[in-house]
Amino acid sequence: MLQKGNEEGFIRYFCSAGYGMEQFVVDEVTRKLEAQDVEQLQGKVLFSSSANISQVKQLKSVERLFLLLKRDPPLKMSSHANPARAASALKSTLMADPQLWTSAAMTWKRLQGVHADRKERLVEELMKEEDHESEVQIMKKRRRMAFEDELTASEHGCDETAPQENRDSSVPFSFRISCKCSGALSRCLSAQDVSKVLGASLKQLGWKVDLRYPQMEITVYLNDDHCLLGSPLTRLPLANRSYIQTTGLRSTVAWAMAQLAHIQAGFLVLDPMCGAGTILIEAAQEHKLACFLGFDIDDGQLKKASDNVEFAKLGGRMHVLRASTTAMPLPSASVDAVVCDLPFGRKFGSKSDMAASLPLILAEMERVLRVGGTLVLLLSPQLSCVLKRILTHKEPAQPDQERQHGSHGIMSTPIQGTEPPVGLMCKPYPPLHSLKHETTLRLSLGIIDGLLHKYIKTDS
């Protein structure tokens, strides 16, 4: 339920999101925060909300959360623009309304509240102690502080607990700027030049530069589409989860997969190649009344998964077992949703041919899924072509044919541990007409892209 936090009205935020995740952010802020004026840009979403800041900080689809300080149309640079003219145009835009900076600083301070005061004390202590400590000790302490930050923030509705006297003491303010500049403007001004222009202007307002422990970080994004200035509201990205010890798949993508599965109370959700269990843990955090089961053939991955289950205190409703996805120890139609991130890419790429094993893997997933259940798969673009071919195949696929031709028409061997169960060994794989395609989305996974596919099992 939405907790109202800002009696003074709506606050405008923006957040960064991985490529392809923007629509998930739009849906999440609308549903959980009753956000208004939601605007989607590439890699960013802007929204207004009156929700309590601790609730805003619990968004799951988001990389980083910012207080929106200023948003302007992109700066138009003529072909004759030189650095001096560009700097002057930039200054006029950024400082068009100096009062805006004062009110942004006050909003920021109010959002930080007690949390900021506590942080300031910790920073002071840290600075005093640092002279006597090794770099490793300092790093450890900073990391601990960052985590404490996140925990404190989610435990308290900070803006509500903020003492009144803090709310107006917003200037003078110390700041540090980081800037990402691309497009036409970057041909005249570097990111450093932009920081200098903004820094000099803020100093004229009485603000102070503090590169080590600023009160406010200012992040500037300038490109041909927009000019966005914000202040990050958490030191760590929201995508860093405090409840996951060892990460596998990017947490935001894992969360998005769980969203697509439309999990409901009483569901049994299966990840038959669970790795460290990230998808199931994200799903379990969101759906407290469902149960979760993970299989993997790699003992190292299973250890990470069970440590993660323990760390997240999910032992009562999430279990991981050693089993192959090609021969799952489950009765037919026993599972409500299957979510799976198949091995591909550099981190989890398999030396053996996943394409050759895909018909059998799909047949097993389809077998254990009940009619009406959801299948959500994350695949590389190449494996997605194989998936499409398998699912549009009219005739039952022969195991040997698939193996010989694979996805690339070359001889291949199945991946280790994916030998077909005896029942399927000599039979053709059943055609998978029961899987009805619902949606396919392209997402960035860092250096590579993945495709998310959603199917519903029908009774045909």
Ligand X SMILES: C[S@@+](CC[C@H](N)C(=O)[O-])C[C@H]1O[C@@H](n2cnc3c(N)ncnc32)[C@H](O)[C@@H]1O
Residue 311 touching ligand X (CB under 6 A): no
Angle between helices 354-368 and 381-392 in degrees, nearest 10: 60
Is residue 371 helix, strand or coil? Answer: strand
**Does 325 engage in binding with ligand X (CB under 6 A)?**
yes
122, two tokens: 């910790």
Among 249, 318, 355, 379, binds ligand X (CB under 6 A): 249
Decide if residue 251 touches ligand X (CB under 6 A).
no
Complex with ligand X: residue 226 or 304, whichever CB lies closer: 304
Query: Is residue 44 within a helix (H) or strand (E), and if so which, with residue range?
Result: strand 44-49
Measuring CA to CA, which residue among 35, 44, 63 is closest to residue 226? 44
Q: Write out the H or E segment, with its range, that includes residue 151.
A: helix 135-155
Name, in order, each residue with C-beta under 8 angstroms of 277's C-beta and a sequence gap of 6 or more. 248, 271, 294, 304, 305, 308, 309, 318, 320
Site for ligand X contains 159 (CB under 6 A): no
Q: What share of the chain is helix, strand, coil (3-state, %, to 5)?
A: 40, 25, 35
Supply the minimum distance, in Å, between the C-beta of residue 298 and ligand X.
3
| Strands of 36-41's sheet in order across | 36-41, 44-49, 11-16, 64-72, 227-232, 216-222, 174-181, 208-209
Is residue 5 within 8 Å of 157, Cβ to Cβ? yes
Residue 18 Cβ vs ligand X, minimum distance, rounded to whole Å: 15
Stretch that binds ligand X, among 21-29, 34-42, 182-190, 272-280 (CB under 6 A): 272-280
Pair 26, 40: CB distance under 8 Å: yes
Q: Report if residue 298 touches ligand X, rule: CB under 6 A.
A: yes
Minimum CB distance to ligand X smaller for 68 or for 356: 356
Of these, 418, 424, 450, 457, which contacts ligand X (CB under 6 A)? Answer: 418
Of 73-81, 143-151, 160-168, 289-297, which segment contacts ligand X by CB under 6 A? 289-297
- Is 306 in contact with 280 (CB distance < 8 Å)? no
Number of helices (H) and strands (E) in the chain: give both, helices first. 15, 15
- In the complex, residue closest to ligand X by CB: 248
Closer residue to ligand X (CB): 5 or 272:
272
Q: Which stretch binds ligand X (CB under 6 A): 156-164, 260-268, 340-348, 393-401?
A: 340-348
- The correct pick among 5, 18, 232, 343 for binding ligand X (CB under 6 A) is 343
279 contacts ligand X (rule: CB under 6 A): yes
Does position 295 interact with ligand X (CB under 6 A)? The reply is yes
Binding to ligand X, residues 421-460 (CB under 6 A): none
Residue 285 as a binder of ligand X (CB under 6 A): the answer is: no
Taking contact as CB under 6 A, which single stretch among the options 19-27, 222-230, 237-245, 246-254 is the one that binds ligand X? 246-254
Rule CB under 6 A: choose which of 112, 170, 231, 301 binds ligand X: 301
CB atoms within 10 A of CB 389: 16
How many residues are given for the chain? Answer: 460
* Distance of closest approach, residue 287 Cβ to ligand X, in angstroms: 17
C-alpha span between 288 and 394 (Å, rounded):
40
Q: Does 348 bind ligand X (CB under 6 A)?
A: yes
- Residue from 275, 359, 373, 406 touching ligand X (CB under 6 A): that is 275
Q: How far is the CB of 9 from ligand X (least distance, A)?
A: 40
Note whether 221 binds ligand X by CB under 6 A.
no
Q: Is there binding between residue 5 and ligand X (CB under 6 A)?
A: no
Any idea which residue has 């799909």 for tokens? 362
Q: Does 258 bind ligand X (CB under 6 A)?
A: no
Query: Residue 10, interface with ligand X (CB under 6 A)?
Result: no
- How far is 375 from 360, CA to CA, in rounded Å? 15
* Interface with ligand X (CB under 6 A): 248-249, 254, 272-276, 278-279, 295-298, 301, 324-326, 341, 343, 348, 415, 417-418
